[in-house]
Amino acid sequence: MLYLVSTPIGNLGDISSRAKKVLAEADLVACEDTRTSRQLFSLLGISVRATTPYHEHNADTARPRLIQKLKEGAVIALVSDAGTPLISDPGYRLVRDCYAAGIQVSVVPGANAVLSALQLSGLPSDAFFFYGFLPPKRHARQQALSRIQSVPATLIFYETPQRLKDVLSDMKAVLGNRQMAVVREITKKFEETRRGTIAELMAFYDEQGVPKGELVLVVEREPEEKKRIAQTDLTSRMANVLKTCSVRDASSLLAAETGLSKKEVYQAILAYQKEIAHEDKRV
């Protein structure tokens, strides 16, 4: 039997009595970081029989051993460092292999940073898209953002304080100046939710410095009405601006005027130029 057990993301009261019972009675607890988990178990007053590491770097070698133990009748609990296992970690492969081997899997739900941040953001929660951590390199990060910019849902990301300013800059360039929330230290003493446009939050963190702690970024979906109006404005302005500006300069100018991202404007200009060239050939 494999249990997926959520652990606290700050407040130790976030763990349920059922989770404590499962952890105490499990033959083995698979942890993202055994040292972190042992400290947590000690604080919670839980005596765990045995722990073993299971994380991104050892998953392929550790998983077969765990599956074998489960086949032999062991009860194993899987935990992450904090919050819900399988969210931004390799646990789903273990679950998949358990099903393939006919092993029963159960969940012990609890604290979840993604859902907590969505609740705190004040943004629409009827549909949301969780990405996890964006790529660390700027080009790859902008490509990732461009792929999801039109997803009709509130966007949610994990992020580190050190990369926050660069990520906000890329979000503004690719997604446009949307409303968003930066949520940090959920359930902890210094829990904070800071809301505003991406540009407003960029200005705030430029002045105040990067925040400390674990961050979740929640960004509004692409505003349909604003996008329609902006695209109408873009079409009406494009021909005149291109008379005096390069494509690159026109992209920057029109992006600032319409609120669309530079990438959207650049692609629209290229499509416009291609259409004009095609019409000239026909003439």
The dihedrals phi and psi of 179, each to the nearest 5 degrees, come to -75, 145
Average pLDDT of the residues in 119-127: 96
Same domain, 6 and 106: yes
Q: Are residues 138 and 218 in the same domain?
A: yes
- The gap from C-alpha 191 to its chain's centroid, in whole angstroms, comes to 18
Crossing angle of helices 164-175 and 262-282, rounded to 10°? 30
61-65, 133-137, 254-258 — which is least confidently predicted?
A: 254-258
Return the H-helix or E-strand segment holding 128.
strand 128-133
Question: What is the maximum alpha-carbon separation in the chain?
Answer: 83
Q: Residue 136: give its domain's CATH number.
A: 3.30.950.10
Place 48 in a pLDDT band, splitting at 50, 70 and 90: very high
pLDDT of residue 189: 87
State pLDDT tens for residues 7-17. Answer: 998 878 889 99
The mean pLDDT of 70-81, rounded to a whole number, is 96
Q: Which of 86, 111, 136 is the last residue of a domain?
A: 111
What digits encode the pLDDT tens for the residues 14-47?
Answer: 899 999 999 999 999 999 999 999 999 999 999 9
Q: Are residues 189 and 103 located together in one domain of the fold? A: no
Residue 280 — pLDDT band, cuts 50, 70, 90? low
| Residue 225, pLDDT score | 52
**Residue 127 binned pLDDT confidence (cut-offs 50, 70, 90):** very high
Same-domain check for residues 143 and 106: no
Q: Is the pTM of this model over 0.85?
A: no
User: For residue 283, is pLDDT > 60?
Assistant: no
- 3 state DSSP class of 86: coil
* Share above pLDDT 70 across residues of the chain, in percent, rounded to a whole number: 94
Q: Which residue has the higher pLDDT, 6 or 233?
A: 6
Name the band, by pLDDT with cuts 50, 70 and 90, for residue 63: very high
Q: Which of 207, 222, 237 is the last residue of a domain?
A: 222
Q: CATH code at 66?
A: 3.40.1010.10
Return the pLDDT at 51.
97
Do residue 218 and residue 235 come from a single domain? no
Q: What is the pLDDT of residue 12?
A: 81
CA of residue 64 relative to chain centroid, distance: 29
User: Are residues 182 and 193 in contact, defined by beta-carbon separation less than 8 angstroms?
Assistant: yes
| Interhelix angle 198-208/164-175, nearest 10 degrees | 160
For residue 148, pLDDT beyond 90: yes
- CB 135: neighbour CB atoms within 10 A? 12
Please compute the mean of the pLDDT values over residues 46-65 and round it to a whole number.
95
Question: Do 10 and 188 contact (CB within 8 A), yes or no?
Answer: yes
- Give which of 40, 82, 31, 91 is closest to 185, Cα–Cα: 82
Burial class (CB in 10 A: 0-12, 13-18, 19+), 271: exposed
Of 192, 222, 252, the one marking the end of a domain is: 222
Same-domain pairing of 208 and 248: no
Mean pLDDT across the chain:
90
153: helix, strand or coil: coil
Q: Residue 53 belongs to what domain range?
A: 2-111
CB 168 within 8 Å of CB 160: no
List, for residues 196-244, the tens digit of each pLDDT value.
Answer: 999 999 999 999 999 999 899 999 998 765 555 556 667 778 888 888 8
Report the amino acid identity of residue 277. Answer: A
Tokens of 83: 């919050």
